Amino acid sequence: MRIKKVKCPYCGKEVLWTEESKYKPFCSERCYLADLGRWLEWGEEDEKEYR
């Protein structure tokens, strides 16, 4: 069986797409949370424009 590799959308590090990859498509909890924080900040900026 061939294991798929993807790039972490935050840092670009290769991630194995397996059941053991807890934060896929992110390489780690750090990248997952950093990306979530960036997404939430983007939403706040978007919301300010509409007020």
Digit-coded pLDDT (tens) for 1-51: 788 999 999 999 999 999 899 999 999 999 999 999 999 887 655 555 555
Residue 50's pLDDT is 53
Say if residues 13 and 29 touch (Cβ distance below 8 Å).
Answer: no
Say if residues 27 and 12 touch (Cβ distance below 8 Å).
Answer: no
Domain that holds residue 24: 5-49
- Buried-state track 4-31, b at ≥16 Cβ within 10 A, e below 16: eeeebebeeeebeeeeeeeebebbeeeb
Number of domains in the chain: 1
Residue 2's pLDDT is 87
Residue 51's pLDDT is 53
Amino acid, res. 48? K
Q: Residue 27's domain is classified under what CATH number?
A: 3.30.50.10
